[in-house]
Structure 1
Amino acid sequence: MDWNILIKGFHQFLLLEQGLSKNTLASYQSDLECFAEFCTEREPPLGLRDLETIHIEEFLAHLYDRKLKASSQARHLSSLKAFFRYTMLEEIINQDPADKIQGPKLERKLPEVLSVDEVNLLMDSIDLSLPNGARNRALLETMYSCGLRVSELCDLQISNLHLEIELIKVRGKGNKERWVPISQLAIKHLNNYINYSRRTGKIVDEDIVFLNIRGKRLSRQSIFLILKKYADNAGIKKNISPHTLRHSFATHLLKGGADLKAIQDMLGHESITTTEIYAHIDQDFLRKTILKYHPRNYS
């Protein structure tokens, strides 16, 4: 069976049955097209039913030779495993050739975070009197206040802002919705943007909160550039991205005494183990907390 037909069928399955986001679907598509190219360029070419465990191992070795990071190799393998589960479900194959294969061991990399002082410097570097100043302040305040993914910020809708009760409804990964509290400071800047400066510009995507000069939703790249601009203005030397504000949100909540399960819910993590990485970030704070409060720590 043709690889393109198989990948298209898998794409439809993920879209209709699993409800995955466009970004996740694009990752699966890219990974499987890479694997299909690997199979078709062999002599003789490999079809789906020709695959054995050795072929998957050779593909992983091929990725290693291309100097792909371990995390990228692991993602490719995860995509293949999902694809093989689908083809078994559809009874195209009766055995998973990747079943016995384990991915590369990944180092647990702690995310970069800003200090509270650095967040304040970042926000204060935004000149509200300049064009898009009100929008950009509202954007960064909302991202930090709610711990949003950049894709969630791009898709945030006015109809999902319930500022009178200090909550917003967010559509996250897999189109799953969650309610997230929003700070009064973020509400202040959102109201200033929505009720005044947003109305003076062109509006095409009426229900989208953050719009570009053409009246359409801001792109992920635009938000990245906005953040980098103000980080530079604030003199912040760290290599930051929109996800840095999400990491900072979680770390500051944990440091302030918030429950890990509550942080998990606000971030929209499926598993608590994903959230637990934030418990490892501020080791100095945790050490001082134990030394201060443990009953056996005395001189």
Structure 2
Amino acid sequence: MSKIELSTARLEASLNAKIDRHFDTLDTDPDVLKQLLADKRSENTRRAYEKDVNDFLKTMTGKSACPDSVLEFLHLEERQAVSVVLKYKAKLIDKGLKEATVNRRLAAIKSLVEMGRKLGVCHYSLGDIKGEKVAKYRDTTGVDAGTFEQVLGQCDRATLAGKRDYALLRLLWGNALRRNEVSQLSVRDFDPVTRTLRILGKGRGTQSETVDLGVATVQAIADWLEVRPGVADGPLFTALDFAHSGHRLTGDGIRKIVVRHSENAGIKKQMSPHRIRHSAITAALDATDGNVRKVQKLSRHRKLDTLMIYDDNRGRDQQDVTEMLDGMF
């Protein structure tokens, strides 16, 4: 057989090949929950969706989620599915759960249904089921710069833990970072020469962005790296306890550091990494006389309206008007 005849035969074989030789098109009972979780990049999101779907099915059927119970729900008629989810929503409200929690659990169920529709095993939607109204960022209060300075003062910078905690706290304040953004940092993300830090911002997947650092923060991180244990190109902030030494500091580990130093500083307000973020953003608005566009570069909020909530809370306009009315008599 000539080369031309051989090429022609191969081409004809490829054209005549059945699609399902390489692609399984006969899977009529897919694991919808598994596919839904695989579609999410964030481990935290996967964990939350799995927990919420489990809660739904366990509440309504008495059994944890499995492929069969998920398909049983997805095979319902629309009126039946809507009725089941509305009953579940009523149970959540009766438990006294917050609006945001109710909405999150409903969102997980809707995402499950949407994935089922994509996979062809569900023929309804839950569009008629509405979430609860939530006032975003009702409390954006934090602590002022003077109070946070007292928190920094609790770090004994002569010790290994003190150097780490001081650098971490300065970074949380100076760049208003989220705890997950800090937890994911590696040594290679820090550039002391250009005074920059590469971070994985919220909702950006694997796409990193670069933020500028203040001089004091750069020095604090450099001081920590001089004594930091572990491999040279490992996590930027590591645990120091005997059992986990050298391991990446988790989000909960960062929270505990913030809480411990805040309590030692005598702060009564419940503190957290996000509370420091609130504090930094509010302090930045004060320092820039409410320049929300400039502060947006710091906070990295996609919507300017979110920063306007911070600015409104900072302004205490309602109190000013109340004082005016109160003084009219």
User: Of 226, 230, 240, which residue of structure 1 is paired with 2:261?
Assistant: 230
Question: What is the SS of the residue equivalent to 1:113?
Answer: coil
1:192, distance to aligned residue in structure 2 (A): 0.9
- State which structure, 1 or 2, has the greater radius of gyration over its C-alpha atoms: 2
Q: What is the alpha-carbon distance in structure 1 between the residues aligned to residue 52 and residue 178 of structure 2?
A: 23
Offset, 1:136: 0.8
- Of 148, 153, 158, the residue aligned with 1:119 is 148
Structure 1 unaligned segments of length 5 or more: list them. 289-299
The Cα offsets for residues 81-107 of structure 1, whole Å up to 9 and x where unpaired, read as 2222222222222320x2012111223
- 1:113, distance to aligned residue in structure 2 (A): 0.8
Alignment partner of 1:103 out of 116, 131, 144: 131
Q: Deviations over 1:112-162 (max 9, x none)?
A: 311111111111221212341111101100111111111111111121112
1:206 and 2:238 aligned:
no
- What aligned pairs does 1:48-197 form with structure 2 within 5 A after superposition? 48-50=74-76, 51-96=80-125, 98-108=126-136, 109-174=138-203, 175=205, 176-194=207-225, 196-197=226-227
Shift of 1:287: 8.8
**Per-residue deviation at 1:204?**
4.8
> What corresponds to 1:8 in structure 2?
34
Following superposition, the deviation at residue 285 of structure 1 comes to 8.5
Compared CA separation, residues 269 and 231, structure 1 to 2 (3 A) = same
Q: Select between 158-167 and 71-80 the one with higher mean Cα deviation.
A: 158-167
Q: In the TM superposition, what is the alpha-carbon distance from 1:262 to its structure 2 partner? A: 4.3
Q: In the TM superposition, what is the alpha-carbon distance from 1:185 to its structure 2 partner? A: 0.9
Which amino acid letter does the alignment assign opposite residue 90 of structure 1? L
- Tell me if structure 1 keeps the 8 A contact 2:142–2:275: yes
Question: Shift of the alpha carbon at 1:171?
Answer: 0.6
Partners in 1 of 2:263 and 2:105 — Cα distance?
35
Checking the alignment, whether the CA contact within 8 Å between 1:210 and 1:218 is kept in structure 2 is: yes
Tell me the secondary structure at the aligned position of residue 179 of structure 1. strand
**Residue 281 of structure 1 aligns to a residue in which SS?**
helix
AA at the equivalent of 1:197: V
Paired residues, what number? 276
Structure 1 segments (4+ residues) deviating >6 Å: 1-4, 285-288
The answer for the alignment partner of 2:309 in structure 1 is: 277
In structure 2, the residue matched to 1:37 is 58
| 1:14-67 per-position Cα deviation (integer Å, ceiling 9, x unaligned) | 2xxxx3x1112211111111122234339xx85212143222111101111222
The one-letter amino acid of 1:30's match is K
**Secondary structure at the counterpart of residue 168 of structure 1:** strand
Deviation at 1:5, TM superposition (A): 2.3
Alpha-carbon RMSD: 2.6
Q: How much has 1:205 moved relative to structure 2?
A: 7.8
- Asked if 2 retains the 8 angstrom alpha-carbon contact of 1:135 and 1:197, the reply is no
Partner of 1:297: none
C-alpha spacing 1:36/1:274, structure 2 compared with 1 (3 Å): farther
Q: Is the 8 A contact 2:160 2:224 kept in 1?
A: no
Unaligned runs of 5+ in 2: 1-26, 64-68, 321-329
Matching residue's letter, 1:67: G
Decide which moves more: 257-266 or 4-13.
257-266
Q: Give 1:186 shift.
A: 0.6
Q: Secondary structure at the match of 1:165?
A: coil
**Alpha-carbon distance in structure 2 between the residues aligned to 1:274 and 1:79:** 24
SS of the residue 1:100 aligns to: coil
Amino acid at match of 1:34: D
Aligned twin of 1:220:
251
Identical columns (%): 22
- Counterpart of 1:170, as a letter, is I
CA shift in 2, pair 1:77/1:270, >3 Å: farther
Aligned-partner SS, 1:222: helix
Other-structure match for 1:295: none
